[in-house]
Amino acid sequence: MKNIVKTGGLLIGLALATTSCNKTLDELTLNENKPNNVPAALLFTGILNDAYEAPNGQYEAWDQYYLNNYDYYGNNRYDFGSGTVYYTTLKNVGLMEQQALAAGSPAVNPYEALGNFFRAYLYTRMSLEMGDIPQSQALQGLAALTPAYDPQKAVFVQAFKWLESANADLTTLIAGGTTTLSGDIYFGGDLRKWQKVVNTLRVRLLLNLSKKNGDADLNIAGQFASIVGNPTKYPLMTSSADNMQYTYVAATNNFYPNNSRNFGQDGSRKNMSATYVGLLTSLQDPRVFATSEPARDLVDNKKQSPTDFASFVGADPGLDLGVMYVNAGLQQYSFLNRKRYFSTLTGEPTIQIGYPELAFNIAEGINRGWLTGASAETYYTAGIQASMAFYGLPTSGTYTAYFYRPGSTDVTASSNYDTYNIPVNYATYYAQPGVKYAGGSTGLTQILQQKYLALFRHSGLEAYYNYRRTGVPNFTTGPGTGNGGRIALRFKYPTSERTANTANYQAALASQYGGNDDINGVMYVLK
């Protein structure tokens, strides 16, 4: 899934008995073929790859976008295991900063500024999965082998401080003429783009704390208003050109997770979810033509038009996996669009932090009353249009849809696709009562629904986190989702914590979840 940069070499064994006795042990074990120092730029590239979140994994089932129907390859159950940890990556963040200083960089330098960004990004990512986590005492080596867990609130408070510092340092660097850094796979080293990412992440994190708006220590609404209301001090993404998105390169064997080489394995063993496809079709949303295929049973046997919204059907995520498998084999569900996602090796860019989500986050904040004198509808419509543009849908005109012809064996051949020229008109789409911004609680639901649609195949678990704190869109449950008919609320702590950090692990469970590492436990940000 990731192309992780390798920063170390092989240790070469030395025959100590045959070496001069006046050399120290360090001299004897020195590998002269191994670099003594890894450049900050190389570490930065590795950190970026470590932090990348790919589509096509289990996250998409938990986001209720794209479901497993064949149990050998996975299921759709919310029986969460351990959360993801990034402590090794965070250790490399510190090493990156050290190497930048060792190479002669001043105290305020690009790697230091983005080091603070990655601390905020990765610590909050772990916290959103699990709750309280070791932060202030983490990564101290022998000085703190059993680090205490920081409360989730403290994790976010510290993250906001890091992001404030990162923004300030980037402002200083850019004003002083330092506008680039090396090792950047996203923006070619453009610090102005990175500054927008820093502040866009901060807006995302503020929305993740929406239930804590009344906490004076966090000052959620105040922070939101300060950032969104002052783009000079806090530059934000202004278009999809600012997206932090992972682009795949076939020449380096860096393939999109779905591609022509794994179509035989992946093409029919997963199918679309009713949560996603049903929302698209209920809104007569043309994005369904770009992301999905019509259910062939409805087209070939029931003789429905392949461009009829009613021909696109996802499976209920709660359906028993065996039943889903049989139905999928009967072509009763829509599958992932073969042309877009399987016909090449590079698919589409995968957004990690992007403008469409930001637009909806700002719209949500305004709807919640966090900023006065601004229009939620302006940002809401900007988010919809940016998402549609990502799929190549025109504001007004014709969209050419490609649907894989049944019985075809080569997903790469254009001749194996039926093409349909579908009229698209944004004004007509937006005029629908279910789409046109209504304001109030209805408007909030609309914002959250459109954000969900825009996050398809992007940004890891962000769609799940939005559901978890708002209940929008409605996630369905049943035998296929397990966990007693509940959507799990958190991941467990790593099993190593039970034995390696027992006292602090037990204290964290006692303070949050009644002493149990409970996937249905309610963490601080959800209370």
* pLDDT of 26 over the 60 cut: no
* pLDDT of 304 over the 90 cut: yes
The pLDDT assigned to 34 comes to: 55
DSSP reduced 3-state for 97? helix
Q: How far is it, in rounded angstroms, from Cα 125 to Cα 84?
A: 9
* pLDDT of 248 over the 80 cut: yes
Q: How far is it, in rounded angstroms, from Cα 291 to Cα 478?
A: 25
Phi-psi label, residue 284: left if phi above 0, alpha if psi -120 to 50, beta otherwise: left
Indicate if the alpha-carbon torsion angle 433, 435, 436, 437 is positive or negative.
Answer: positive
Q: What's the average model confidence in pLDDT over 156-181?
A: 98
* pLDDT of 459 over the 70 cut: yes
Q: How far is it, in rounded angstroms, from Cα 436 to Cα 219?
A: 31
Domains and CATH numbers, the chain: 82-236+492-527 (1.25.40.390), 258-484 (1.25.40.390)
pLDDT band (50, 70, 90) for residue 6: very low
pLDDT band (50, 70, 90) for residue 16: very low
pTM value is 0.93
Using CA atoms in the order 73, 77, 79, 80, what is the torsion angle rounded to 10 degrees? 70
The neighbouring-strand residues paired with 404 are: 417
pLDDT tens digits for range 333-384 = 999 999 999 999 999 999 999 999 999 999 999 999 999 999 999 999 999 9
Cis peptide before 356 (omega within 30 of 0): no
**Amino acid of residue 105:** S
340-to-270, 292, 392, 455 alpha-carbon distances in Å: 16, 9, 11, 16
Structural contact between residues 308 and 286, judged by C-beta atoms closer than 8 angstroms: no
The pLDDT assigned to 98 comes to: 98
DSSP reduced 3-state for 109? coil
**Inter-axis angle of helices 110-130 and 87-102, nearest 10:** 170
pLDDT tens digits for range 283-303 = 999 999 999 999 999 999 999
* pLDDT of 24 over the 80 cut: no
State the maximum Cα–Cα separation within the chain, in Å, rounded to a whole number.
87
Place of tokens 């082998």: 145
Q: How far is it, in rounded angstroms, from Cα 115 to Cα 162?
A: 9
Task: State the chain's mean pLDDT as an integer.
Answer: 94
DSSP reduced 3-state for 271? strand
Place of tokens 């490609």: 402
